[in-house]
Structure 1
């Protein structure tokens, strides 16, 4: 693939907070540990090595061995599982929901970023070993967010009732989805490979956790990816002391609330991504994941009859840690407690809430990971690239909102000048003299002069818009072609990576898709990638 890029801030798709973070704004430095530059990993390694409980390694590897039981794994993944026992081995983590057939395309980009970063760190720090990890969000309970994917502009959906953690859901009904997918994919060689992958993952495994583990292992296992399921009793036992401080002392609620206030002081444009709760844990059983709340000394599981005294809840936590499921605030800490992790790789929304968490980590005496924005990409075919060139466009133009994009290009290609800025400037100069005249003669006329200026400027704006509209009609064919190419590459007026499923690219590139992405995406690029094939 040919690779080009544009700065994230020029795409218009990333928040001010994330753009400021990428610019390493000084005021944001208290909210993260170290910025993910290659040279900063040496200190991160030292800190994590000193802070990470070495006894956790044996528990981690033992749990992972159980989770991989019955699954064929690559030599590379086997080597990485073994390496996790060693004191000089560290992880790089990304996490994601159990979206049907991976969901949006950026799921692949997250894992590619993670694998590539471990490769680069291995080159930079040869005395250490680095393992890429995908954290499955098996305990998430928002089924409506994960039960579909888009294929050829159509929504392929798994229709069923669901409650509790999605990882526990059986795969009932996915045979019907498979029939839909098969009909839509066609009968090419690559289509048959995709059908087989879907069938083996979802029709030959009993629940969504097992299906997703199989699917991701098939896609990335040869590159050494290790897949972690946090819904594990042995791993949850390591979380118990931290869950106690959350449930009974409300430390994360206090610290994250303070951090949100501090972020708002840095800039009122920073939007709060997630708000902490007094208790950041759910009670988890099959078919049930409900919040734990405290009222008057009694701890209740919402929407159930379950109630505990403080002593009873402590006993439940120690006896059944697997029944306590961390929410979006507590889960990042869980990850960093059980893994010898250096870096979390996520999208803009994820990093925004991670930036709320550092003081909470400090209070819990857990090393805060480095935060790296995942790779983002727009994939363009050679045919689409030729269309863009024939229309005398730059790819960066296509990131503009459609109306802005069309107006900008019409102004550029029109054979008449549609920009009335000179007339507006002349008008302002004329009114400047009228203001001076009114001030010297009768100041009561200042209001009338101002009203007349506003009226005439509005008149010029209206004329400019009418002229622009007329030129759009005149250049209708070009407008249609420009709109068509933008709609192709930005389906539903959104980033391609948020709409397309990987299967559409796989139909074209087959097994070469993931190697091509691994070769093309640089985790340290700091820019939005444009990939042409």
Structure 2
């Protein structure tokens, strides 16, 4: 399977914060622990082993067996669940929302990165066990972010959803209404062998499970169970009881707000966009009907936009008796994951790593080991036909990632039989006007403004001439321009990275199991570049 790659900076799709993190810029060093290089995991293992409460392992295994009770998963996943009970077992974690039918392609890339890193760690450190974890974001309640997927340029949306959608955790939501999506999806995907697999996966996932948590677990397991992936739903009283001391600190001392403020200020001072601004209390109150923020006013605690309230003692009693009702938000969920799991490394996208970089001081204040942070793999999938077309159009891989107007202008200039670059003429004009500036300076300085105005006017005139010639040449080369646009639009849907738009089914229906096999073979989580993977012959 042919593969190419491009550096992350060359793609123009990654923030300065992530690029600087990957470059290990000194100004960011204090915001993270060990950088994710294979040799650094020895220190991370030692730190996690000594700080982790190994008594949690028993509850973790018990909960996982309960959550998997309705699934016939692989022997490898069952073995990995059992191994989590042993002191020399550690995890690598990725997390993701419960997007409909996995959402965009990068869901696959996250999990492949996670599985492949555990394999590398096992080779390097054979005396330990390493378990890949997908932490389902079952407690999120932003339904609009997860209720659709894109296939063949069409949006498949879950319209007739549970009336609680958007009000409570998505994991609770009934799968009713997804039969309509299934009918539309079935008609789109066709009746080939791969299409039948996808339809069965969708039908058994959503139409044979009662809630979104169980449905998502089933689908992720069918795609990755053979590789030993373990799927965790943190919304469980037996797990959350271990988080009670940290939740108490949050409620009474506003610990996360206090301890993340300096990192947020530092990121602002360095000119980065801050991903998440912490609230004073970063916990929600959760039940099957609502997920709402907990706020404090004048010594009493309230659930936002409800009649629910507590005194301090009543709140602590509620926390002790019902820890499952206290739901961490995006700032606290990382700590909860690291308290529950013997984890070494978190794998996420750029946005996720950006908010993790706010948290190191908070982890230290709570005496929880801060994990390594690894950017998930990114890739562009293309057919052999698309690869051949790119080469015939003489478009390099870095050029493929340009904005479309930049790409077309560059190629039109390159293939034209006339020179449409007026840069030499503009420079000549600037040089001429410099002489006029010198003359005005020596005679009458009041003329400098007039000289400047004339310079701007003439440069603008050259700009306009250049644009008109370029436009005329585009018309002359219309077929070439259309072919360039068609190729790029096919690889960058909605003028965005393919991995952020397209659902995996669009490729699975064509390539079947080979899709995941090739991702497993080609995505190296410790190789810091953007992969281009070609399927089929040119």
Q: What TM-score range do you get, normalising by the shorter chain?
A: over 0.9
The runs of 4+ residues in structure 1 deviating greater than 3 Å are none
- Say yes or no: does 1:250 pair with 2:254: yes
Aligned runs of 1:112-131 on 2, under 5 Å? 112-131=112-131
Aligned runs of 1:420-435 on 2, under 5 Å? 420-435=422-437
CA displacement at 1:225 relative to structure 2: 0.3
Map of 1:492 onto structure 2 = 494
Aligned runs of 1:50-449 on 2, under 5 Å? 50-159=50-159, 160=161, 161=163, 162=165, 163-266=167-270, 268=271, 270-449=272-451
CA displacement at 1:129 relative to structure 2: 0.9
Task: Provide Cα deviations, 1:52-100, integer angstroms capped at 9, x if missing partner.
Answer: 1111111211111111112112111111111111211110000000011
From 440, 452, 462, the equivalent of 1:460 is 462
Aligned partners of 2:6 and 2:397 also within 8 Å? no
Map of 2:18 onto structure 1 = 18
Query: Which sits farther off after the overlay, 427-436 or 122-131?
Result: 427-436
SS at match of 1:167: helix
How far apart in 1 are the matches of 2:513 and 2:530?
Answer: 24
Map of 2:47 onto structure 1 = 47
SS at match of 1:317: helix
How far apart in 2 are the matches of 1:3 and 1:39?
Answer: 27
Superposition CA RMSD, Å: 1.0
Aligned partners of 2:6 and 2:398 also within 8 Å? yes
Task: Provide Cα deviations, 1:182-217, integer angstroms capped at 9, x if missing partner.
Answer: 111111111111111111111111111011111111
CA displacement at 1:305 relative to structure 2: 0.7
Task: Provide Cα deviations, 1:221-243, integer angstroms capped at 9, x if missing partner.
Answer: 01000000000101101111111
CA displacement at 1:257 relative to structure 2: 2.0
Q: How many equivalent pairs are there?
A: 531
Task: Provide Cα deviations, 1:97-146, integer angstroms capped at 9, x if missing partner.
Answer: 00111011110000000000000111111111110000000001011111
Aligned runs of 1:466-481 on 2, under 5 Å? 466-481=468-483
How far apart in 2 are the matches of 1:209 and 1:529?
Answer: 31
Map of 2:9 onto structure 1 = 9
Normalising to structure 1: TM-score of the pair? 0.98
How far apart in 2 are the matches of 1:198 and 1:76?
Answer: 23
Point out where structure 1 has 5 or more consecutive residues left out of the alignment: none
SS at match of 1:492: helix
Task: Provide Cα deviations, 1:253-280, integer angstroms capped at 9, x if missing partner.
Answer: 12222211111222x2x11111100110
How far apart in 1 are the matches of 2:380 and 2:207?
Answer: 32
SS at match of 1:271: coil
How far apart in 1 are the matches of 2:196 and 2:65?
Answer: 31
CA displacement at 1:218 relative to structure 2: 0.6
How far apart in 2 are the matches of 1:111 and 1:394?
Answer: 29
Aligned partners of 2:113 and 2:377 also within 8 Å? yes
Normalising to structure 2: TM-score of the pair? 0.97
Map of 2:518 onto structure 1 = 516
